[in-house]
Amino acid sequence: MEIERECFSAPWSEHAYLTEINNRSAYYVVAVFECSVVGYAGMWLVMDEAHITTLGVAPSYRRRRIAEQLIINLLEEAKRRGARRATLEVRESNIAAQSLYKKYGFVPIAIRRGYYTDNRENAIVMWIENLDDPRFLAEYNAVKQKLAEELALAATEERTC
């Protein structure tokens, strides 16, 4: 809940998360660093669609590729469970998140006017239309592989310093 409050101007309540944990359509994952939760992400899996509902990384742990690893985890689980497409909404002002989602194949397709209740900000709806499309898979796997190589290199450098 601490990360939720740090990340979002209109945070979900603890009750909302407790409900989500018991939601059979929901899937959540956390990122842990030195025994502390530093990020989390969640989605709903309904029919053949994965709807990413939330993603947050503690401000002091950003720019460490944690959000990328969370996105990959969600997309891999979505594919494992038979999802054919994925969607999410992101604040119009959150350019960093939009860039991350585009990097992993999401394309902006619509705007939900006044979507966010705290300030009536618009949401950009982003989609991956076909998680099985060969072009998507080639680009996604290349980005995923590059991240894995960069993380492995960083881990090696940490051990040698």
> pLDDT value at position 159?
59
pTM of the model: 0.86
> pLDDT value at position 11?
65
The beta strands (E) that lie in the chain are given as 26-33, 36-46, 49-57, 85-91, 107-112, 123-128
Handedness of CA 138, 139, 140, 144 (dihedral sign): positive
**Chain-wide mean pLDDT for the chain?**
90
Q: Check which CATH number belongs to the domain holding 94 and give it.
A: 3.40.630.30
> How far is 128 from 117, CA to CA, in rounded Å?
26
- pLDDT tens-place string over residues 36-54: 989 999 999 999 999 999 9
Q: How many domains does the chain have?
A: 1
> Which active-site residues does the annotation give?
89, 101
Task: Say if residues 126 and 101 touch (Cβ distance below 8 Å).
Answer: yes
Domain housing 148: 2-160
